[in-house]
Amino acid sequence: MPARAVYTPLLQSLDNGKNFFAKKCNGCLKACPKGDKIPYCISRALIAAVEGNKEEGLFFCGENAFRINKITTVKDLIDELLTDYQSSMLSSHLA
């Protein structure tokens, strides 16, 4: 089940061979092999993310997450998108 996630300490630890097996299975995914066949429990990692645990949480993101270097307001983001769109439309009409 491929997905994009922020490269947090959890993923860094998994890359280094550490495992985070579940103490109790929540039965959340049919496709989960359960037990020691997987290096971490996705349910536990998602709950940790919701709780703000940056060390053990799994934070999904979109393909442009690498562009984030600051927290911005929705208004500023929409303004930026509209400016980019208007600029793009203007240059396409000039071409």
pLDDT at 1: 61
| Mean pLDDT over each residue of the chain, to the nearest integer | 85
pLDDT at 81: 92
The SS3 call for residue 5 is: strand
For the chain, domain boundaries: 9-67
Query: What residues have CB less than 8 Å from 46, skipping those under 6 apart?
Result: 57, 58
Of 17-21, 69-73, 82-86, give the lowest mean pLDDT range.
69-73
Which has the closest alpha carbon to 58: 69, 35, 42? 42
- Please report which confidence band the pLDDT of residue 86 belongs to, taking 50, 70 and 90 as the band edges: very high
